[in-house]
Amino acid sequence: MAKKKNRKNIPLPILILICAVLLHAIYTSVSTLALAIWGDSVMGTVDSYDSRLDNTKAEQNRSRTVSKGYWFLVNSKEYRGYVIYSSDEAWPSLDEGETRSERIRYLSFLPYVNKPAMLCEFSEMGE
């Protein structure tokens, strides 16, 4: 007599959560690669910036969590973006109404896919 296999299925909410996380990871990786290869550059304006010290003993480029909000113009249309990443970067916080310029990379056929250039250039990745 053959033994029955006890097969436990993954609950649907957990499976949906796993798929959502994997899809987000794929989107982030593919968009970074696409921006590095096919992206166009433009000068954008950083209008919100925050740098939080997480760990003074962390490895290089991992001691702070940096968040930036920015905007840029393509064909007279404004696009906005927001990124969060780990870095050792520690600019002073922006005061109300203060801005900074930064290069932004975007896909010419889909400008909604964009990031600061420092996050998607091969020469600067891992630094």
User: In this structure, are residues 120 and 39 in contact, taking their beta carbons and an 8 Å threshold?
Assistant: yes
Give first-to-last CA distance, the chain, whole Å.
61
The single-letter DSSP state of residue 63 is S
Tell me the domain boundaries of the chain. Answer: 12-119
Question: Shortest CA distance to 104 belongs to which of 66, 70, 68?
Answer: 70
- The CA distance from 115 to 66, in Å, is 14
- Are 73 and 104 contacting, i.e. CB atoms less than 8 angstroms apart? no
pLDDT tens for the 127 residues of the chain, in order: 566 666 678 899 999 999 999 999 999 999 999 999 999 999 999 999 998 888 877 777 778 889 999 999 999 999 999 999 988 887 888 888 899 999 999 999 999 999 999 998 877 666 5
Predicted confidence at residue 125, as pLDDT, reads 66
C-alpha span between 81 and 69 (Å, rounded): 6
